[in-house]
A and B are shown apart, each in its own frame.
Chain A
Amino acid sequence: MKKVKYIALVLVIMLAMVGGAYAAWTDTVVVDGRASTGNMKVVFTEADLSAGGTYEVIDNAYVTDGGQKLVVRMSKLYPRNDFLEDAEDEDYAYIWFQFKNVGTVPVVFDSATAVAAAGNQFPNINRLKFGDPSFTATLGEIPGALSVWSDAQGPILPGEDKRIKLHVWLDKDAPNSYQNLTAAFEVKVNWKQANMQ
């Protein structure tokens, strides 16, 4: 009889403890989250050549590699003074190209390569000179010139496009051996997020 009473007492205590745990009320709230990343892409969209004055250049300029590379071939160039020395003179070849930020992130110029391309006949491609009212550069100096240009422009926003037009000529000191030659070069530009400068 005593045992029965003892077991009953234990059962009562256990049930009371179960009741106590159950009595701890709870509530739950749930949050569903989603984060999507953007993308960064800038492409050359157009490129062309033209000539002014007595110039009659020329050859062609085109965009390749899905918009990542600009290739230019130029003929019939001849030596002349640097652009800054006679800026009013229109006897120049012109190259212009356009690129567009087709991504979702603002970008700025990061770096570039400008080198001789297949079909180039110039012994020294840096006899080719470029300029606009603010600078004069050889092909090898084009990346630096683009950097200066980018700093002045600021970020290129998503959907925005930019057009650059450069005067092109043959260095005034180019020797006779540059006659009847074709210059070919290619330009690649690397961009970076505008907020990571």
Chain B
Amino acid sequence: MPPAAINEKRDTLKQIRFIAVIIIVAFGLIGVVYAAWVDQVVVAGNVRTADFNVRITGATCPNAGKSGDNFDLTYISGGGEVLESGKRARLWVDNIYPSPRVSHQNWQLYIKNESDIPVVLDSSSLDAYSGSNEVWNYLWGEIHLRIYDEKGITAANQIGSTVNSGSFIFKDGIDLKSEAVMDGIILYPGYTARYSILFWLHPDATEGQNEKIDFTLTYNWKQWNMP
């Protein structure tokens, strides 16, 4: 190739390089301009699941030591306490003796739905009971249920002011009666179920002095919308 032709080709390559640089710079400028025009909307995907928390908020034996309807029951003592952040409670009564139903004592158990979703009682059970058969066979009870709304006002829309079980022998019925009175009742968020567990030692109990009984009552709750 003659020297003139070589020089011409060299010039042509220089031009191409220059144009390429210009194009790059131009696109760069366009990019800057384009970037100035866009905006960004960020959607933070934060899905929080509901909380499920049913808790015992109160456990008492309110009438122990107070006069009954037909005789002074001063000598009966009792009480209750909430344990384990409301997941457990202890109820007790001392010095019960045979009496008619009218002289009953009662435990009150407050169970609150602190969940974000409604709950219903799935099942309850009476477990690990022990002690005197004479006492078990003659300890009678009833369950009276009242529902309070989140403001502490009786929620009468579901059950009226209260729903009561019939009388039953404790060991045969306390768990089943617990379920029966709660059957179909939805405990909405913030609502509280007050179980009044009435009890009395039936007058037919001729034995059983200085005895005691122990039991564990378990309440299982579930979402209201699940079978």
Measured CB to CB, the residues of A under 8 A from B are 23-40, 104-106, 155, 157-158, 193-196
Contacts and interface: CB of A to CB of B under 8 A. Distances in A.
B97 A38 contact: yes
A34 B92 contact: yes
Contacts of A31: 56, 59, 88-91, 109, 216-219
Say which size band chain B's interface belongs to.
35 or more
A104 B55 contact: no
Q: Is the interface of B mostly helix, strand, loop or mixed?
A: strand
B103 to A, nearest CB: 6
Interface in B93-116: 93-100, 103, 107, 109, 111, 115
20 contacts: A26-B220, A26-B222, A27-B52, A27-B221, A29-B218, A30-B87, A31-B89, A32-B91, A33-B90, A33-B214, A34-B92, A37-B97, A37-B201, A37-B212, A38-B96, A38-B209, A40-B97, A104-B97, A195-B73, A195-B103
B95 A36 contact: yes
B179 to A, nearest CB: 14
Nearest to A38: B95
B135 interface: yes
A23 B68 CA distance: 48
Contact of B86 (A29, A33, A38, A40): A29
Interface of B: 52-56, 59, 68, 70-73, 75-76, 86-100, 103, 107, 109, 111, 115, 117, 119, 122, 132, 135, 139, 199, 201, 203, 208-223, 226
Contact of A35 (B56, B87, B89, B139): B139
A105 B75 contact: yes
B215 A33 contact: yes
Contact of B54 (A29, A34, A37): A29
Contacts of B89: 29-32
A34 B91 contact: yes
Contacts of A26: 52, 122, 220-223
B216 A32 contact: yes
A27 B216 contact: no
B54 A27 contact: yes
B74 to A, nearest CB: 8
